[in-house]
Every structure is written in structure tokens, then in C-alpha cells.
């Protein structure tokens, strides 16, 4: 007995492509959101960079504030992210929220003062992390 391809229960091409896009998008999203944990590894490089830019009064202790502040902002925005993720489609939610945080992080890459960088990078990354971390769940 030969099955008719139209009556076959297997996935069609569009469903397969949408599934692949969802897996790749979820992987990229979680790779981006999980990057918060490298702040301890990049702290010495940040310190060296800002010393090179002329802020010699910074110490290693100043760079240890990065991760707690990101977590603080993430914890603050996590409940809001849970509520918004139930009301909006995941794709729309990610496409609306991610650019806001990415723009803040991009602008902070051009900062030459550590405290200005700290004041822009940590809240923007924490904001995105808090809002979007719940989306894959």
C-alpha cells in the first residue's frame, strides 16, 4: 500500500522551516541572555581599557559591581517580562524589547568613562535579560 503524500501525517516544508527558525532563534536568544555570566571574565580587560583611556583611579573592586547590578535590573524586570510574554507573541516581544537593550549596549561600547559605561551597560543588559529570559519558557 502506497501512501499519498497529501494524506501523509509528516511535517510539510513550511512547518519544518518554522521549526528550524524557532530552534535557531531560541539558541541565539539564550546565548545572548546567558552572556551575562562572562562579566567576571571580562572585568580585568575592562579595567585595563579604562586605565588606558585615562581613568587610573579605578580598581578591580569597581568592576565587581557589574554582575550584581545586571542581576538587580534583571530581577526587577522579570515579573514584567512574564506578564508581557503572556500577552504578546514571542517573536513580536523579542523584536520589540531586544533592540532597546542592544542600542544601550552598543552606545556604551563608545563610552570612555567607566561610570558612564557602567550606568548605561548594566541597566540596559539587565532590562533585556529580565524581560526576555522568560520567553523560551
What does the DSSP assignment read for 103-133?
A: HHHHHHTT--SHHHHHHHHHHHHHHHHHHHT
| In the chain, where the domains are located | 13-132
Q: What is the pLDDT at residue 3?
A: 52
Mention every residue, 6+ apart, whose C-beta is less than 8 A from residue 106.
Answer: none
> Which among 61, 39, 46 is positioned nearest to 126, based on CA atoms?
39
Q: What is the pLDDT at residue 7?
A: 52
Alpha carbon separation from 53 to 5, 9, 27, 97 (Å, rounded): 65, 62, 35, 32
pLDDT digit string, tens, across residues 45-58: 999 999 999 999 99
Q: What is the pLDDT at residue 12?
A: 82
Q: What is the pLDDT at residue 119?
A: 94
Q: What is the pLDDT at residue 68?
A: 93
Whole-model pTM: value is 0.80
Distance CA 28, CA 91 (A): 13
Q: Which residues does the chain have with pLDDT short of 70?
A: 1-11
Amino acid at each position: 500500500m502506497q501512501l499519498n503524500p497529501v494524506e501523509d501525517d509528516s511535517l510539510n516544508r513550511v512547518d519544518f522551516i518554522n521549526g528550524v527558525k524557532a530552534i535557531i532563534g531560541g539558541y541565539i536568544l539564550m546565548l545572548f541572555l546567558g552572556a551575562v555570566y562572562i562579566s567576571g571574565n571580562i572585568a580585568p580587560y575592562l579595567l585595563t581599557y579604562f586605565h588606558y583611556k585615562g581613568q587610573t583611579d579605578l580598581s578591580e573592586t569597581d568592576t565587581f559591581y557589574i554582575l550584581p547590578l545586571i542581576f538587580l535590573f534583571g530581577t526587577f524586570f522579570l515579573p514584567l517580562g512574564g506578564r508581557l510574554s503572556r500577552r504578546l507573541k514571542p517573536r513580536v516581544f523579542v523584536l520589540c524589547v531586544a533592540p532597546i537593550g542592544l542600542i544601550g549596549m552598543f552606545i556604551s561600547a563608545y563610552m570612555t568613562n567607566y561610570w558612564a559605561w557602567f550606568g548605561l551597560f548594566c541597566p540596559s543588559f539587565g532590562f533585556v535579560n529580565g524581560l526576555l529570559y522568560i520567553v523560551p519558557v
